Every structure is written in C-alpha cells, then in structure tokens.
Structure 1
Amino acid sequence: MILKKIAFILFFLNTFFVSSGYSQKYNAIDSIILKYPNFGSPEKLAQRIQKDFTSEYDRARAIYSWMAIKLNYDLETYLNPPKQKTYRFKTKAEWDKKKQLLDAKTIQKTFKSKEAVCEGFALLYGYLATLNGLKCQKVTGDSKTLLNDIGRKRLGSNHAWNTVQIEGKWILVDVTWGNGFYDEKRKVIVKKFKSIYFDMNPEYFYAKHFPDNAMYKNNTGNKETFLNGPLFYNGFFKAESQVVFPFSGVIQANDGDKMTFKFKNISRLEDLYCLNKKEERIEIESPKEENGILEFQITYDKRMGRYITFYLFEEGFAAFKIVPK
C-alpha cells in the first residue's frame, strides 16, 4: 500500500535548474569521493566514509556526493513505472515487517545496480547515513518542477527526499536532484552533479518540495499556496532573491493589461530579461530600483502564451502563469 502511495513519476530536473551548488567545481570532499573504488556492499562503503571523514556534516555530504556522482537515474522505470502491488495484513506489526523487507530489497538493488528512482535514492541515503551514526529520515511529498505545475489542481505524492540530523540540526537533502536532470525534449537523463541540494536553505527547498507528513511542514503556507507560487529556477536561488510582488505565481491579466513585478536583490535591469512562448524577448517597462528591489512592468499580450519565464545572467530565474480575468 505504501508503494501505491508514492508514484515515482516526477524526476524533476528541467534544463534551467541544473547547475551544481552555484559552481560546477567539486569541493574537497567530492574530490576524495571521486577516487573511491567500487565497494562490495553498503557497509564497506560506510566504513570507508567513516575512516576518511570525522565530522557528521562531512560524512553526510560524502554520502550525498558518492550517490550523486556514482549512481544513475533509472529512466526506464521513470518512463514505464511498474504496476503497483497491493498487500493485505492483519496487524500493523505485520505490515512494518513487510515494509522493512521491501525497503531492504530496494536498498540492496539500488546499491548493486547503481540505478534507481527517487525512492531508491532516498532509502539508500538513509541507510548509509544510519551506518555512519547519523539520524536520517525519508520524506515523501509533492515536487514542483514544470511550468504546468504552477497553479495545478492535481494533488498527490510524486517524490522522495531526506532530512538528516547534523549536530542537533536537521538539514534537507535531495540526492536524486543532485544526480542530474531529465531532458524532456531528448527524452534522456543528463548526469550533472549539483551540490545545491545538500543542506539547501529551507525557504528555497520548500519552494520546490511539499511534504506529505505534517511533521515536516515547517515550510510556510498550505498545499494550495505551494502550487500557486511561481516556479523557481537556479538563477533565483543563486541570487538569493525574493519575489516581493506579485504575491502569487498565477497572474490574472487580459490583453493590454500592465503587470507589475518586484524582485529583491536584482538591481541591474540589464542582467534580467524574460521570454514568451516563442522564446522572444518581452519588453520590460518603467524599471526602477530602490533598496535592492527592482520594480518594472510588462504589458500582457495573449500571443505571449500562458507562461512568462524570467532569466538572470542567461540562467532560468522564475516563471509565472497568466490566466484571463
């Protein structure tokens, strides 16, 4: 039943949200991990990590880096998910035991094949963290990754990630998204290591993730607020920006209406531009900057399409959905 609950269908990762923690260079921990040989078991890998790294933070990062670098995303399962099995149990204890067996099987399969979807990534990360003496939990929930996710009504659970405790503080980890991205146009997985999804700022992390379990929902707002928000890309997080206005990612506008935008930490208009559905630049009108907030307007033309996407320094920044009044 729990396998029913999790539909492994959104691997996310469109092409504008793919740079590695603001830099494509590996850090010192990653450089050590890159030299690791193949290990016969998760336990042997965990022992090596314990030997090479002493702090909880470094071990948690080493596990993340090893998985993001060494594993591959299972494209076949993503595109053709198997039919979900159902199980019947008389007691919760019976189900807990069965679930442990299923999870253990997934962990071993993921480690051996070096391939999985998000469930396998999250389970293996949790197991390796536990072997390294870390408290770690798998979290399931909704992910927001595509333009048509803005304002969508379809609810559900489509992704899995982790939260791990480091020196008393819980940090957020999405090793699946650190592994690469799915190129929708070419229907291929592009491996591209990204460190940004390890210990990400919760404010930004929860702009893309919404947990199923209320105990993890220290993100602001409810599910509707989450879905109605803008779609953010790497450039937004890189600039440590904020959307001051509009308050929603769904904007009501008719032909000829002026739409006002206010972005914090974007002071140079020449660094920011936006495109319509034909990838043509849209004119930015009446720009002004005050106290680190850039304010401007765009005149809506229905030929622009349903979405407006902003770019900063040639990187995806944020996208909004336009609906008629």
Structure 2
Amino acid sequence: MKKFSLLLFLIPLITFPQDFTKVDNVTRAAYKKVTTIDALAERINNDFETDIEKVRSVFTWLTFNVSYRLHYSKTLEAPEFFVYLNDEDLEKVLIAKEEKKITDAFYNRQAVCEGYSLLFKRICDLLKIENEMVFGYTKASGDYVGVIPKGKNHVWNAVKVNNKWMMIDATYGAGYISKNIWIKKFNDTFFDAKKKVLNGTHYPGDPKWRRFLGQKELREFCQDPVVKSAYFKHNLDVLEPKQGVIDLKNKSHLKFKIKGLKHMQSLLYVYGKEGMIRTPEVSGKKEYRDYYFKKPKEDTTLHIYVDNELALEYIVKVE
C-alpha cells in the first residue's frame, strides 16, 4: 500500500513538453481579419483556457503578422527633448508616443524590437497576465563582436505563467536579417527561451534579469562569438576558438575544434568581404573534429553554416 501511494504521489511530478500545434494553427488561420488590439485579446481569451496557451498565441500572432522594419542602429533611439509644463504633462506626451508605437506595429504590421515588445505587453495586460519588458543588449551580427555597448539596443519580454517567469523574444521569433534583407521565418526557440540560449544571445540591463539567467559579465559576453539558432538546434559546442575575435597575424590558417556535428551534416564558411562559400578540411575523431579554414586576405567577418543554416559569426584579423 505504501509503494502504491508513493507512485500516485510521484505521477503529477512527471511533465512533458507542451505541443502548441493547435494554438499556432488557430492563431494563424482565425485571427487574420481581427481589426483592433482589444478584439485580438478577446479572441485569444475566449479560444484558449490556460495562460501558457494564451501567451503562445500572442507570440505566434506577432511573429506571423508583424514584419521587422529595417531601420535599426547599435542602440535604441536617443532620448528626445519635449516641451512640457509639468510632470503630468510630460507623462501624457510619453504615453502618447508609446501608444503610437503600439498602434503602428498592429495596424502597419511592421515594427522594430520596441514595437514588438510593447504590443506583446499590451495584449498580455489585456489578458491580465503578469509581464515585464526587458531592456538590454544583443549582438545582431559579427560586426558587434568585441564592441562594448554604450547603450541598450534591444528589448524583449518576460511573462509569468504558473508562478514561473519565462522569457520571450517575438522579434527573434519572427525571422532574421541576412545581407540587409529581412527573412521571415518562424522560430519558437525564443518562446520560453532556455537560459543557455539567452546567455549566448541576450544581455539584460537589469541585474535582476541577469541573475535570473545566470548571465556572465558584459565584457565577456561582448567578446564571445555571435551564436545563432542553428548552433543550439544542432547542439554544437565550439571547443576552440572561444573568443569571437580571432587573430591570425602569425598563423597560416584558422583552426576550429567543434563537438556535436554528425557525420552527414555539412559545415561551410564564408568570409564577409569575399562572399565565396568554402568547405573546410576536416580531421579528428567522431566525437569532435578539427576544421581548418583558409586564411582570408584581410580583416573580415566569418560566417559558419551548418546544413545551410547560419550558426556562428566571428571577427577575423590578419593585419
């Protein structure tokens, strides 16, 4: 009897990853003609029972309907100067500007990260789901490696569901930029993103969220290479080089030691200024292999692809 009781007690502790296929399909098919933010929140609230399903629906709607507007810089917009009579007047001006960003994202179906995050927050507020915007820093490309930011350049969301905080980045979930072109591609890696993923891609400005992620120091984060979704998708581990800036001044080639690549997977690389797709020479054991890249002629960025998906970016210095 005691053994049977113990088994019953343990069963509720067993959990399985949730399948959001139904939520995604309903959201994409049924909400195309929703005309107001309030109406969208009402539909989500009526169609789904649990908070996690509702939050997923918000994420899916944003990533499916809102495209990234190719107007960005290394920092968020600089503070503006306003003429106002008192603090109450200033608050009204700021609220109006925020409201415009939210409505622009919804009605124009275009936004930068702030628009995605503000609209995400508005819908969650209407659904009465606790949430916060997280301001911080990300490395969008290899050009950012080794650059210590002077200001925040990205914002995403934290949502509390079942008494647990999760981080969600609808901007990253909607697609990515390649050669100054927006590529729309749904990526749910950044829905309830794992801390391991965010530690390689996002740096919160608030110490509270850095502690939540167990994030390293900013300087160390900035010196790391840029890691993309394919890096985590294929469960890769670069044993060397660890730094994002590679100095080849006194070397004849570039050597990588990578763990996790399967035998049939392809690895290709491109130097930014050359544009030629190359295949490295390979040696080593099955568990991990050594990859030898040809030395570029000048300082450049290095883009590494696994199965034709961008996985890593570095800065290479030869002069």
Work out whether the TM-score is over 0.5: yes
Cα separation, partners in 2 of 1:259 and 1:111, compared to 1, 3 Å:
closer
Alignment of 1:195-210 (within 5 A): 195-210=188-203
CA contact (8 A) 1:151 1:249 kept: yes
C-alpha change, 1:261 and 1:58, in structure 2 (3 Å) is: same
How far the C-alpha of 1:178 sits from its partner, in A, is 2.2
Gaps of 5+ in 1: 1-25
Change (3 A) 1:95 1:225: farther
Deviations 1:72-115 (A, max 9, x none): 3334x559x99862137798777556544432343234323333
SS at match of 1:152: coil
Change (3 A) 1:140 1:243: same
Alignment correspondent of 1:145: 140
> Hey, what does 2:108 align to over in structure 1?
113
Query: In 2, Cα distance between the equivalents of 1:210 and 1:264?
Result: 25
- Residues 112 and 208 of structure 1: is their aligned pair in 2 closer, same or farther, counting only changes over 3 Å? same
Distance 2:42 2:167 in 1: 23
Find 1:263's aligned residue among 258, 263, 267.
258
Aligned equivalents of 2:171, 2:35: Cα separation in 1: 22
- Moved runs in structure 1, 4+ residues, more than 6 A? 88-94
Question: Which of the two has higher C-alpha Rg?
Answer: 2
Distance 1:72 1:302 in 2: 35
Residue of 216, 220, 238 corresponding to 2:209: 216
Query: Relative to 1, partners in 2 of residues 1:115 and 1:258: Cα closer, same or farther, differing over 3 Å?
Result: closer
Q: 1:281 aligns with which of 278, 283, 301?
A: 278
Tell me the equivalent position of 2:230: 235
DSSP 3-state at the match of 1:87: coil
Matched-pair contact (CA < 8 Å) for 2:203–2:215: no
What TM-score do you get using the length of structure 2 for normalisation? 0.79
Does structure 2 retain, via aligned residues, the 8 Å contact 1:254–1:302?
Answer: no
For residue 123 of structure 1, report the CA deviation from its aligned partner: 0.6
Amino acid aligned to 1:319? E
Residue 232 of structure 1, CA deviation: 1.6
Distance 1:286 1:83 in 2: 49
| Partner AA of 1:70 in structure 2 | N
Q: Give the root-mean-square deviation of aligned CA atoms.
A: 3.1
- The answer to whether the 8 A contact 2:225-2:242 is kept is no
Distance 1:270 1:47, change over 3 A: closer
The CA distance in 2 between the partners of 1:239 and 1:83, in whole Å, is 38
* CA displacement at 1:304 relative to structure 2: 7.2
- Give the TM-score normalised by structure 1: 0.78
Question: Does structure 2 retain, via aligned residues, the 8 Å contact 1:119–1:159?
Answer: yes
Deviation at 1:300, TM superposition (A): 5.4
Over 3 Å counting, the alpha-carbon distance change for 1:106 and 1:305 in structure 2 is closer
Aligned to 2:5: none
Alignment partner, residue 311 of structure 2: 317
Q: Aligned residues: percent identity?
A: 23
Q: Deviations over 1:208-263 (max 9, x none)?
A: 22222222213432222112111122321211222232221222223544644332
Q: Partners in 2 of 1:49 and 1:140 — Cα distance?
A: 26
Give the conservation status (yes or no) of the 8 Å contact 2:102–2:115.
yes
Aligned to 1:272: 267
Structure 2 residue runs without a partner (length 5+) = 1-19
Q: Distance in 2 between matches of 1:219 and 1:91?
A: 41
Cα distance change on mapping 1:112 and 1:282 into 2, 3 Å? closer
Matched with 1:9 is none
1:298 aligns to 2:295 (yes or no): no
Matched, 1:253 2:253: no
